[in-house]
């Protein structure tokens, strides 16, 4: 088989080489076919047909030219007949060549990457191919070769190609036929109505094809459902977290009729169980640390006493103080119809809420995510804490075990350790916060350990045991040995999974990604054209500000997508981990640059040299900026230090508006402030790019001025 493939590949290579060496394109000229057609009409048609098949089968350049020539010589209808079958046969030949020579190698080599693609092709391969044929965004020869390695039947490939290319064939052949009727190739002669119409069709064809394809997809997705004759609202939003609230706010701002459905608490996870309570707890823990450090500043104080119930009471007070911002009353005043209850999709336009059917022209799914509870033996016998029930604690655990070294795991480990718990943090990865650079995480890990957190990395909890009043976890280390960790409470912080079950998504045919999030396009549309999704349920980020960012695009596209659609922009998405020191990032870090093969230049600045940090007693951390090689264009920035979440905003702004390090360096920063660090790292970059040769000439000039 390998010898046969090699022989075929060599034969094709020889034929293509001969074509170029002998200037094969001379036989694709109008003069060649016109002269032969006059002498041998039938043979010329057969010759034209054969040449067209060979050219497309071998993926040679000239198919578009041949199509127009076909119209000029054979006229519209006979030309369409010849080109339609010749192009389809040739494309199928190229498809089979690719399948025979490349398919096994490609599928084996890139198996992990192609799994999702193969599943999609097996499910909707015909529609996908029809889209590519109808809208020629890519050269057809590339489509032939790529589809050859995909799991699609040859018969399906043939008839879909013939049908999909027919409209384009007609337009191109008609253009050729119109030109063929022109007797004199002068400017005025060419500008006949027929020729102008043909070229007008050529210009409009991509738009017409794209619109037609969208209509076909929409019709297929909505097949089997009856569209209501009237609607209760223009927009219905399921979920009143950050994404849902912003979507509803946008709709109310433009005076659209909007319904917002929430089964639990307005404000979602961020207000009730996420950002707000966790940051209030972190602030309380920082107060303990500040008291412990007071003597460093010459302030003598007694040891702090943590009243944990009062700490938790304040957290709930903070939630209640912020609650009005996300309340039913506020959004009702804005014109949003808020409904409390569980929503379930029953059609692309209808939702059942508390037994009542409500309809809307468009629906936005903003149902958030929930904590993942891993299937570890014995975990079900343990009273598990998660981000959802953690805030109901009334007694500080003496020994707290935390599973997961992500953002929440690290934040809560430090906070509870400072409040007086003995914290053990266990993670399966080789270092905490695995998405961040190892050198930055190493500094943060050292801080956690110095404060007393027991960090156990590259280790796995394999079972839990609850005996009498004592609970323990069996932890398997990188060497295969196991150790027992005794704890009073365990906090599971290994990630969150999108809330997609129970909403009727399967009934609507809404596709999900491998990680469980809803599959959306760049306009945040799901596979059902009337349903959009944003926030944690759509991914790829689980951040409140990311959810709000997506919600703007989802809301605007849902309301105005028929006129103008906006692609969601993830280029500049900041992320902050609120440990002490904080860890903030935007854009690429070194790890991602290596994985993506992006060449970068790294510039760092140590906060140990920053005057304000020294004065505050917080001279720890660093700023790391990645720039394009030989340029001040910022590709990413990472900050580990006090108020890093605030400092990163300058780099977010710079990247958003394409401002380089030179612009940051030229900006006045107040003294003494932490923000000066951004200017200093820009200065470090500048010093590395000083034109040394020019400086040498300047030095000579000034020496000459001194008469030396």
Domain ranges in the chain are 2-221, 233-266+327-371+498-560, 379-495, 575-692
pLDDT tops 90 at residue 82: no
Each residue's pLDDT tens digit, 676-692: 999 999 999 998 888 77
**Phi and psi (nearest 5°) for 556?**
-65, -45
Average pLDDT over residues 161-181: 76
> What is the helix (H) or strand (E) element at residue 32, kind and residue range?
helix 30-39
Average pLDDT over residues 143-161: 79
Side-chain-facing half-sphere of 108: CA atoms under 13 Å: 5
Lowest average pLDDT, out of 23-32, 271-280, 499-508, goes to 23-32
**Phi and psi (nearest 5°) for 403?**
-95, 120
How many Å apart are CA 352 and CA 238, to the nearest integer? 11
The two beta strands, 531-533 and 356-365, are parallel
User: Quick one: pLDDT at residue 691?
Assistant: 73
User: Quick one: pLDDT at residue 25?
Assistant: 52
In 276-385, the DSSP E strands lie at 336-340, 343-347, 350-353, 356-365, 369-371, 384-385
Please state, in angstroms and as integers, the Cα–Cα distance from residue 455 to each residue in 37, 272, 386, 394, 493, following that order.
83, 28, 19, 25, 15
pLDDT tops 50 at residue 577: yes
Q: What is the pTM assigned to this prediction?
A: 0.77
CB atoms within 10 A of CB 100: 15
First to last CA, the chain: 81
pLDDT range class, residue 125, cuts 50, 70, 90: low
User: Quick one: pLDDT at residue 325?
Assistant: 93
User: Quick one: pLDDT at residue 327?
Assistant: 95
Question: Helix or strand or coil: residue 670?
Answer: coil
How many Å apart are CA 345 and CA 557, to the nearest integer? 20
Contact 623, 638 (CB under 8 A): yes
How many Å apart are CA 449 and CA 418, to the nearest integer? 12
- From 260, 489, 525, 264, select the one nearest 370 (Cα to Cα): 264
Instruction: Tell whether domain 379-495 is in CATH 3.50.50.60.
Output: yes
The two beta strands, 454-456 and 422-426, are parallel
Residue keyed to tokens 């936005």: 364
Contact 494, 387 (CB under 8 A): no
pLDDT range class, residue 118, cuts 50, 70, 90: low
Q: Would you call 606 exposed, middle or buried from its count of C-beta atoms within 10 A (0-12, 13-18, 19+)?
A: middle
pLDDT tops 50 at residue 186: no
Retrieve residue 429's tokens.
């990865």
CATH topology assigned to domain 233-266+327-371+498-560: FAD/NAD(P)-binding domain (3.50.50)
Q: Would you call 52 exposed, middle or buried from its count of C-beta atoms within 10 A (0-12, 13-18, 19+)?
A: buried
Retrieve residue 88's tokens.
């389809």
Task: Between 12 and 637, name the one with better pLDDT.
Answer: 637
CATH topology assigned to domain 575-692: Enolase-like; domain 1 (3.30.390)
Retrieve residue 641's tokens.
């230090």
How many Å apart are CA 672 and CA 268, to the nearest integer? 39
Contact 414, 449 (CB under 8 A): no
Each residue's pLDDT tens digit, 651-662: 999 999 999 999
Highest mean pLDDT among 15-19, 174-178, 225-229, 694-698: 225-229
DSSP state of 263: S
User: Quick one: pLDDT at residue 695?
Assistant: 73
> What is the helix (H) or strand (E) element at residue 88, kind and residue range?
helix 76-109
Q: Would you call 184 exposed, middle or buried from its count of C-beta atoms within 10 A (0-12, 13-18, 19+)?
A: exposed
User: Quick one: pLDDT at residue 287?
Assistant: 95
Lowest average pLDDT, out of 183-187, 397-401, 627-631, goes to 183-187
Rg over alpha carbons for the chain, rounded to the nearest Å, is 33
pLDDT tops 80 at residue 136: no
Please state, in angstroms and as integers, the Cα–Cα distance from residue 522 to each residue in 246, 352, 466, 532, 533, following that order.
18, 28, 48, 11, 11
What is the share, in percent, of the chain residues with pLDDT greater than 90?
Answer: 60
User: Quick one: pLDDT at residue 137?
Assistant: 57
The two most distant CA atoms of the chain are separated, in Å, by 110
Each residue's pLDDT tens digit, 330-385: 999 999 999 999 999 999 999 999 989 999 999 999 999 999 999 999 999 998 99
Q: Which strands make up the sheet holding 422-426, listed edge to edge?
A: 384-385, 489-492, 399-403, 422-426, 454-456
Residue keyed to tokens 């999900």: 512
pLDDT tops 70 at residue 138: no
How many Å apart are CA 91 and CA 499, to the nearest integer? 44
pLDDT tops 70 at residue 518: yes
pLDDT tops 60 at residue 476: yes
Retrieve residue 82's tokens.
């010849």
Lowest average pLDDT, out of 32-36, 176-180, 278-282, 554-558, goes to 32-36
User: Quick one: pLDDT at residue 189?
Assistant: 43
How many Å apart are CA 523 and CA 533, to the nearest integer? 10
User: Quick one: pLDDT at residue 157?
Assistant: 79
How many Å apart are CA 262 and CA 250, to the nearest integer? 17
How many Å apart are CA 508 and CA 527, to the nearest integer? 9
Contact 387, 371 (CB under 8 A): yes
How many Å apart are CA 649 and CA 674, to the nearest integer? 13
Contact 444, 583 (CB under 8 A): yes
> What is the helix (H) or strand (E) element at residue 219, kind and residue range?
helix 193-222
- From 534, 591, 540, select the one nearest 570 (Cα to Cα): 540
Lowest average pLDDT, out of 40-49, 285-294, 629-638, 652-661, goes to 40-49
Identify the sign of the CA torsion 488, 280, 330, 267.
Answer: negative
User: Quick one: pLDDT at residue 336?
Assistant: 96
Tell me the average pLDDT of the chain: 86
pLDDT tops 90 at residue 102: no
Q: Would you call 36 exposed, middle or buried from its count of C-beta atoms within 10 A (0-12, 13-18, 19+)?
A: middle
pLDDT tops 80 at residue 192: no
pLDDT range class, residue 193, cuts 50, 70, 90: low
Average pLDDT over residues 22-39: 55
242-253 and 544-560 helices, crossing angle to 10°:
40
CATH topology identical between 379-495 and 575-692: no
Average pLDDT over residues 547-571: 94
User: Quick one: pLDDT at residue 172?
Assistant: 77
The two beta strands, 369-371 and 496-498, are antiparallel
Lowest average pLDDT, out of 74-78, 411-415, 455-459, 641-645, goes to 74-78
Average pLDDT over residues 167-173: 77
pLDDT tops 80 at residue 140: no
pLDDT tops 60 at residue 1: no
How many Å apart are CA 261 and CA 259, to the nearest integer? 7
How many Å apart are CA 126 and CA 121, to the nearest integer? 8
CB atoms within 10 A of CB 135: 20
């Amino acid at each position: 088989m390998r010898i046969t493939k090699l022989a075929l590949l060599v034969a094709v290579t020889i034929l293509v080489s001969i074509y170029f060496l002998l200037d094969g394109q001379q036989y694709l000229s109008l003069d060649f076919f016109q002269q032969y057609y006059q002498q041998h009409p039938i043979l010329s048609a057969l010759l034209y047909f054969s040449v067209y098949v060979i050219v497309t089968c071998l993926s040679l350049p000239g198919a578009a030219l041949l199509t127009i020539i076909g119209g000029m010589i054979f006229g519209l209808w006979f030309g369409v007949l010849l080109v339609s079958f010749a192009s389809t046969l040739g494309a199928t030949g190229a498809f089979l060549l690719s399948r025979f020579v490349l398919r096994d190698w490609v599928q084996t080599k890139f198996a992990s990457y192609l799994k999702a693609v193969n599943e999609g092709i097996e499910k909707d391969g015909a529609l996908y191919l029809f889209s590519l044929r109808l809208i020629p965004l890519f050269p057809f020869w590339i489509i032939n070769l790529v589809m050859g390695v995909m799991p699609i039947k040859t018969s399906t490939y043939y008839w879909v190609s013939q049908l999909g290319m027919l409209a384009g064939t007609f337009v191109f052949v008609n253009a050729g036929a119109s030109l063929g009727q022109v007797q004199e190739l002068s400017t005025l002669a060419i500008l006949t109505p027929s020729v102008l119409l043909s070229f007008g069709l050529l210009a409009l064809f991509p738009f017409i094809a794209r619109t037609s394809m969208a209509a076909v997809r929409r019709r297929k997705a909505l097949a089997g459902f009856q569209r209501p004759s009237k609607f209760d609202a223009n927009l219905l939003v399921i979920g009143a977290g950050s994404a849902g609230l912003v979507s509803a706010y946008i709709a109310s701002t433009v005076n659209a009729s909007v319904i917002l459905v929430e089964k639990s608490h307005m404000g979602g996870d961020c207000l009730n169980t996420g950002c707000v309570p966790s940051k209030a707890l972190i602030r309380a823990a920082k107060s303990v640390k500040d008291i412990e450090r007071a003597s460093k500043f010459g302030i003598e104080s007694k040891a702090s006493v943590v009243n944990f119930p009062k700490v938790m009471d304040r957290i709930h007070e903070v939630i209640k103080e912020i609650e009005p911002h996300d309340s039913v009353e506020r959004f009702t005043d804005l014109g949003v119809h808020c409904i409390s209850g569980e929503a379930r999709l029953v059609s692309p336009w209808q939702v059942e809420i508390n037994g009542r059917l409500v309809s809307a022209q468009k629906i936005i799914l903003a149902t958030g995510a929930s904590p993942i509870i891993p299937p570890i033996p014995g975990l079900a016998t343990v009273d598990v804490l998660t981000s959802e029930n953690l805030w109901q604690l009334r007694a500080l655990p003496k020994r707290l075990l935390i599973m997961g070294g992500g953002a929440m795991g690290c934040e809560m480990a430090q906070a509870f350790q400072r409040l007086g718990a003995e914290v053990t943090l266990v993670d399966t990865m080789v270092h905490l916060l695995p998405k961040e650079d190892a050198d930055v995480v190493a500094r943060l890990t050292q801080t956690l350990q110095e404060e007393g957190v027991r960090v156990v990395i590259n280790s796995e909890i394999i079972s839990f045991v609850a005996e009498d009043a004592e609970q323990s976890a069996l932890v398997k280390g990188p060497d295969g040995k196991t150790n027992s960790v005794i704890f009073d409470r365990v906090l599971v912080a290994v990630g969150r999974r999108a809330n997609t079950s129970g909403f009727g998504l399967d009934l609507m045919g809404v596709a999900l990604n491998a990680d469980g999030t809803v599959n959306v396009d760049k306009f945040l549309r799901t596979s059902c054209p009337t349903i959009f999704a944003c926030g944690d349920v759509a991914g790829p980020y689980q951040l409140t500000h990311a959810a709000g960012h997506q919600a703007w695009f989802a809301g605007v596209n849902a309301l105005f997508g028929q006129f103008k659609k906006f692609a969601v922009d993830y280029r500049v998405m900041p992320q902050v981990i609120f440990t002490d020191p904080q860890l903030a990032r935007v854009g690429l870090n070194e790890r991602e640059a290596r994985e993506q093969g992006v060449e970068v230049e790294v510039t760092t600045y140590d906060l140990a040299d920053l005057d304000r940090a020294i004065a505050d007693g917080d001279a720890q951390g660093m700023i790391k900026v990645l720039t394009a090689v030989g340029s001040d264009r910022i590709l990413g920035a990472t900050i580990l230090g006090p108020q890093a979440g605030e400092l990163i905003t300058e780099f977010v702004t710079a990247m958003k508006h394409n401002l380089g390090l030179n612009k940051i360096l030229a900006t006045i920063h107040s003294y003494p402030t932490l923000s000066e660090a951004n200017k200093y790292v820009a200065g470090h970059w500048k010093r590395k790019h000083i034109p040394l040769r020019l400086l040498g000439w300047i030095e000579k000039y000034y020496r000459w001025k001194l008469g030396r």
